[in-house]
Amino acid sequence: MWLLVLGYAAVITTVLWYVYRARGEDLCLNYLSIILWGATVMFFIDSLYSYLNGEEFIEISADAAVLGFSLLLVALVVWLFILFLKDPKRVFRKAL
């Protein structure tokens, strides 16, 4: 399930990145997109390896859903940290 959660989030983030980039806005969504695509590829390879060893390709359970959303939360926290450091709209620099 975590593969699906991260995959959907990666696709949505990539679409949002292109939309905001076309508008000329920079929200550092490229970093979030790279983080999510990297995690998706990593878990795809892990799922493929597990499938070749006789396990299910995608585990559908409540624990797997919690893990997927926990991983998404960690990716969002890392992105927010990057966003605060880069401060693309100069929100914090104006306040100082």
Residues 6+ apart with CB under 8 A from 24: none
Whether residue 94 is contained in a domain is answered as no
Is 88 in a helix, a strand, or coil? Answer: coil
CA atoms of 91 and 6, how far apart (whole Å): 29
Whether residue 96 is contained in a domain is answered as no
Whether residue 95 is contained in a domain is answered as no
> pLDDT tens per residue, the chain (96 residues)?
889 999 999 999 999 999 999 998 889 999 999 999 999 999 999 999 999 999 999 989 999 999 999 999 999 999 999 999 998 877 777 766
Whether residue 84 is contained in a domain is answered as yes
Would you state the structure tokens that stand for residue 73, as one six-digit string?
């939360």
13: domain range? Answer: 2-89
Q: Which DSSP category does 30 fall into?
A: H
Query: Per the structure, how many domains does the chain have?
Result: 1
